Amino acid sequence: MSVTFTYVETQVLLEYQWPYLLTFLPPAEELERTARESGALLRKRGVPSAEALLRLALAYGFCGLTLRQTAAWAQVAGVAEVSDVALMKRLRTSDGWLGHLLALKLAESAPPPPRSTLRLRLFDATTISRPGSTGTDWRVHLGFDLSSLSIDHVELTDDKGGETLTRFALRPGEIAVGDRGYAHRKGLHSVRAAGADFIVRLNWQNLPLKTADGAAFDLLAFLRRLPEARTGECEVVVAASEHDKLPALPARLVAVRKSEAAAEASRAKVLRERAKKSRAVDPRTLESAGYVFVLTSLPADVLSAAEVLETYRFRWQVELAFKRLKSLLHLGELPARDPPLARSFIFAKLLAALLLEDFTDRFLAFFPWGYRLA
């Protein structure tokens, strides 16, 4: 269950529920120390404390206020005495500190290591553009723990920071689940080196596969032999890479033929995307759109072919998490062009998302006096 907050409601939270929101964060002395050590609050001219600086950052990144509006609100609310220019300078040096607070909240919400059951970790990324930009300027990489339905990893990179499973720390017994963007040899090897397993979706051409005897694997020929409405699987090997000094990696290919309606919808999507980019469509791309096929390191006695596909289906939970961030917190709207200010804005958004989860959980656990006693 979740509670949706409008911009007005979030400003009310910052105005009247601030002491309560602070209970979800480190104590004041810890905020002061980390703000000072990170360089976010070396001088307190106009901004009396780390709490005040955090409140300013959340007002700017959380409530949909411009720098000028945030500065005006801060003066009226008695939070700080700063101009919009001074506020911008403060926030430009606060990105590291806000990232640290975000990491603390993520660590706090992460569940303990699993004992005997496998834990699903879902991974995805979303892009953010600066004002006026039509391309990718930032990429937010997100890890989602399905067992607790919580975000447990956030990383912010520029447009050159691609999707890879090497970004995420995995533990033995976990299963990393990712879409086509994560089907790369380095990432798959990093998962296995950690004692974890993977389930990743494939494109027909993005990962070189071989048969067990070392011959090239004909993916489309395998897909054409699939029966209607039944899963198929076979043992394959991810080819070794001399360039990256990676050995061959045994795996299972699991696939299912789509219904004709679903296949037609997928082909239509491919055609629309290629038309937007004025690109010709490879016939193999259209043919492979009629199937869902994933690669996994899990043996059949752990998950059957049907269970592998059902497990991959849960990956949509991380898609929903991103959609929630973008729709409820307007994560896709980036008003800042300056990189340090943009990082502060995005980190404040994500920190606010975790604070909202805490606030909602406590709100649903009703107490007549409005909060849980220590």
The whole-angstrom separation of Cα 199 and Cα 153 is: 18
223 assigned to some structural domain = yes
Give the type of residue at 186: K
- Give dist(CA 294, CA 315) in Å, integer: 12
Q: Are 306 and 217 contained in the same domain? A: yes
**Does some domain include residue 238?**
yes
Q: Cα separation of 344 and 244, whole Å?
A: 35
Count of beta carbons in the 10 Å neighbourhood of residue 275:
10
Helix, strand, coil shares of the chain, percent, nearest 5, are 45, 15, 40
Separation of alpha carbons 142 and 158, rounded Å: 14
Residue 154 lies in a domain: no
* Of 135, 109, 139, nearest in space to 123 by CA: 139
Number of H helices, E strands in the chain: 14, 9
Domain shared by 353 and 266, yes or no: no
pTM beyond 0.75: the answer is: no
With CA atoms as reference, report the closest residue to 54 among 70, 72, 76: 70
Write down the residue that tokens 């990324």 correspond to. 125
Q: Are residues 190 and 294 in the same domain?
A: yes
Structural domain boundaries enclosing 195: 180-314
Q: Which residues contact 159 (CB under 8 A, 6 or more apart)?
A: 127, 135, 136, 137, 138, 139
Alpha helix (H) residue ranges in the chain:
7-16, 18-22, 28-38, 50-62, 67-77, 84-92, 95-109, 185-193, 219-224, 260-276, 283-288, 305-313, 316-328, 339-364
Number of folded domains that form the chain: 2
One domain for residues 245 and 347 = no
For residue 369, being part of any structural domain is answered with no
Tell me: do 250 and 355 sit in the same domain. Answer: no
pLDDT digits (tens, 9 = 90+) for 319-331: 776 677 666 656 6
Angle, vertex CA 165, rays to CA 163 and CA 167, nearest 5 = 80
Asked, for residue 168, whether it belongs to a domain, the answer is: no
16 and 47 housed in the same domain: yes
Identify whether residues 295 and 351 lie together within a single domain. Answer: no
User: Does the residue 163 lie in any domain?
Assistant: no
Number of other residues whose CB lies within 10 A of the CB of residue 25: 19
Within a domain: 141 = no
List per-residue pLDDT tens for the chain, 374 residues long. Answer: 344 445 455 566 666 678 888 888 899 999 999 999 999 998 888 999 999 999 999 888 877 788 999 999 999 989 999 999 999 999 999 988 998 888 788 777 555 544 446 688 999 888 877 767 777 788 888 888 777 666 677 788 888 889 999 999 999 989 999 999 999 999 999 999 999 999 999 988 889 999 988 899 999 999 999 988 789 999 999 999 999 899 999 999 999 999 889 889 999 999 998 888 888 889 999 999 999 999 999 999 999 999 999 889 888 767 776 677 666 656 666 777 777 888 888 888 888 877 877 776 654 444 444 444 44
Q: Are 177 and 312 in contact (CB under 8 A)?
A: yes
Q: Strand, helix or coil at 70?
A: helix
Same domain for 277 and 205, yes or no, is yes
Encode pLDDT of 48-59 as tens digits.
999 999 999 988
Same domain membership, residue 345 and residue 301: no
Residues 310 and 329 in one domain: no
Residue 162, in any domain of the structure = no
Residue 69 contacts by C-beta under 8 Å, 6 or more apart in sequence?
none
> Is 152 in contact with 346 (CB distance < 8 Å)?
no
Same-domain pairing of 216 and 296: yes
- Check whether residue 234 and residue 215 sit in a common domain: yes
